[in-house]
Amino acid sequence: MIIARSRQELQAALDTKRGSIGFVPTMGALHIGHRTLIEAARRENETVVVSIFVNPTQFLPGEDLSKYPRREEADFKICELSGVDVLFYPDVAGMYETDEVRVCAPDVRGFILEGASRPGHFDGVLTVVMKLLNMVRPSRVYFGKKDAQQLALITQMVDNLFMDVKIIPMETVREKDGLALSSRNVYLDEKQRVEALKLSASLKEATKMVMQGNLDAEKIKAAMMNLLQPLDVEYVAIVNRQFESIKEVVIGNTIVLVAARVGTTRLIDNVWM
């Protein structure tokens, strides 16, 4: 595995490779969710590139940028063992200069749900993904459905800006008890870890209601809110794949999402139906 710490080193590494490139952008603190993306990239491409970059522009002032988990040594091992060919590990100076051109998230879809709770977050996400895609120039790029709105907005960016890359959405990987894997789960103590299960439990309840034929979005949201108590819920939402709010679940075109704080840790989860 080649570790490239600058754009020049990345370019030199890629110059030695032939064929399709599968790319998995991450912020590190790698877990099985990330590994599933890397394994899919490994199966489907000749060369696999993973980036690890805790992108400062997607954190709002007061968020967890400085304490975001960093696990350089373990992450390098995981990448090596997963068959990654090139690990791109740039520093902030190698990614940004001051007074830059940036990508702006769309006015509506970029500023609802996650974008309402974290205004500006998606501008940072789209900007860094654009930079990374331009540097790696992959055939396929892998994103988790766990970050559903991020996936939708990146898909829209690729579409709107006529970019030439295939986006591969990947299912959310969960612990046995249902908790969606997240680098932020390490912030949870034992009691909070149990409370955090309310997110996936509320989504299971939504799925159960839909399977029983209860398609009314308000009723599903009310049942979820009930189960989420006493967590500090930021939103419960039911949208279509375009992230438009819907009154009735349509199987095959619905995403149910939840964001809540467990202690000071902000968690998100969703289910696609």
Residues marked as catalytic: 34
Is 172 a binding residue for ligand AMP by CB under 6 A? The answer is: yes
For residue 15, give Cα distances in angstroms to 18, 24, 111, 227.
8, 19, 39, 53
CB of 236 to ligand AMP, least distance (A): 19
**CA proximity to 93, closest of 27, 12, 6:** 6
Cα separation, 223 vs 85, whole angstroms: 46
CB of 144 to ligand AMP, least distance (A): 2
Is 144 a binding residue for ligand AMP by CB under 6 A? The answer is: yes
Cβ nearer to ligand AMP, comparing 47 with 183? 183
Is 27 a binding residue for ligand AMP by CB under 6 A? The answer is: yes
Calculate Rg over the CA atoms of the chain.
19
Residues 22, 23, 33, 47: which binds ligand AMP (CB under 6 A)?
33
Cβ nearer to ligand AMP, comparing 167 with 246? 167
Q: Where on the phi/psi map is residue 265: left (φ > 0), alpha (ψ -120 to 50), or beta?
A: beta
**CA proximity to 57, closest of 116, 101, 111, 107:** 101
Total residues at interface with ligand AMP (CB under 6 A):
17
Cα angle: 193, vertex 68, 265; to 5 degrees: 35
Cα separation, 112 vs 89, whole angstroms: 31
Is 173 a binding residue for ligand AMP by CB under 6 A? The answer is: yes
CB of 33 to ligand AMP, least distance (A): 3
Is 132 a binding residue for ligand AMP by CB under 6 A? The answer is: no
Find how far residue 162's CA is from the centre of its chain: 22
Of 29-37, 77-85, 126-134, 201-209, which part binds ligand AMP (CB under 6 A)? 29-37
Is 22 a binding residue for ligand AMP by CB under 6 A? The answer is: no
CB of 152 to ligand AMP, least distance (A): 12
Cβ nearer to ligand AMP, comparing 115 with 217? 115
Contact 141, 25 (CB under 8 A): yes
User: What 3-state DSSP class applies to 145?
Assistant: helix
Q: What are phi and psi of 225, to 5 degrees?
A: -55, -40
Is 147 a binding residue for ligand AMP by CB under 6 A? The answer is: yes
Binding mask 179-198 for ligand AMP (x = CB under 6 A): -xxxx---------------
Pairing of strands 47-52, 232-239: unpaired
Residues that bind ligand AMP (CB under 6 A): 26-27, 33-34, 36-37, 143-144, 146-147, 170, 172-173, 180-183
